Amino acid sequence: MHSRLLSRLLLQVVFVLLAVGTLCFVMAEWLPGDAAYRVAAGRYGYDVVSADVAAAVRAELGLDRPAIVRWAEWLWLLAQGDLGRSMVLGDTVVSLVAFQLGHTLWLSLVTWGMALALGLSLGVWTALKPDGWIRHAVDQLNTVLRASPSFLIGLVLSTWLAVELGWFPVAGHEEAGHVFLPALTLALALCPGFTQVVREASLKLLQSDAFEFAQVKGLPPHAALWRHALPQTLLATLAYAGVQLVLLIEGMVVVETLFAWPGIGHALVHAVIARDVPMIQGTALTMALLFVVLSGAVDLLLHAMDPRLADARRRKNAPEEALEHRSTNPEALP
């Protein structure tokens, strides 16, 4: 079963590489303005760039060649594992993306930790008090968070916690405290979904026979809930986490730019402004592959934690496998 999941993941990776890379190339070609002028401005600055400098950059990078030729060249390099070089910086895209990827993964790890802590705490808390004021206050807060875009949450947090109170730095990455505000911004965007999933799983457990039996044995409600609910809520949260990866990766672009965090999203914005096509493709491919790989990792982890998923998938695929066996082995037909 794991081999089948890995094979499907590999096919998804190949499809994502071709589809996302090609789409980025086409969209970069459709952007208005002179790409050579934008690249030259990114190299030397808008104050000194001229038509002659732009023409020299165009000839150097081969931007005057047909788009189909440049796309075929990129495809050939991709088949060799080469993402090319940045048109602005001149460094290899792989080296630049590797540096940015470390910062993005660190921000993602802190974000997931905050989101899980908030979701588990608020979900279990409101499940224990379904009719209290806490439940209504949390619901109102989650409604506001769902309706607020990431950049608005980030602006409110930076104005309040950084400017007004001075507890955290506004932007940057040099110190450990720099990660708190961007991670909290992304975690608050993920928190409503996690809270709802944990609450529903906890409420279902509160009505189960296992919870009643635990109370009969003398366990307090809080202890019985945490002891019996934690595995089920973790499974439900992990399954939901795979869906929320889209929101996380989408929010990375905005939040990293807002807080000047040197990650993949921040690099993608600057690459689009400079029309640095290899960097656009490299950063977009990295973000897309992150989604595919992390989604596959979540699936594998869920199957490892709950063997019933593998059994259900095996029963679902049994008729197809039997039909395939009969079609390839005529002697097995009745």
By the 8 A CB rule, do 104 and 264 touch? yes
DSSP 291-318: HHHHHHHHHHHHHHH-HHHHHHHHHHHH
Domain membership of residue 17 (yes or no) is: yes
| The pLDDT of residue 308 | 55
- Are residues 204 and 110 part of one domain? yes
Residue 207's pLDDT is 73
How many domains are there within the chain?
2
123 and 230 inside one domain: yes
Same domain for 226 and 105: yes
For residue 327, tell me if it sits in a domain: no
Answer yes or no: is 320 within a domain: no
74 shares its domain with 138: no
pLDDT (0 to 100) of residue 311:
52
Three-point CA angle 107, 15, 70, nearest 5°: 95
Q: pTM of the full predicted structure?
A: 0.73
- Within this chain, do residues 191 and 138 fall inside the same structural domain, yes or no? yes
- The answer to the question of residue 272 being in a domain is yes
Q: Letter for the amino acid at 194?
A: F
pLDDT at 246: 66
**Residue 84 DSSP one-character state:** -
Domain boundary among 79, 111, 130: 79
pLDDT at 109: 85
Q: What is d(CA 18, CA 53) in angstroms, rounded to the nearest whole number? A: 33
Residues of the chain with pLDDT under 70: 1-3, 5, 210-211, 214-215, 219, 221-236, 238-239, 242-243, 246-247, 298-299, 301-334
Question: How far is it, in rounded angstroms, from Cα 298 to Cα 154?
Answer: 28
Mean model confidence pLDDT for the chain: 78
Do 36 and 137 belong together in one domain? no
Residues 139, 249 share a domain = yes
54 and 168 share a domain? no
* Domain around 266: 93-308
Q: Are residues 264 and 237 in the same domain?
A: yes
* Same domain for 224 and 162: yes
Per-residue pLDDT tens for 268-319?
A: 888 888 888 888 888 888 888 887 777 777 667 666 665 555 554 555 444 4
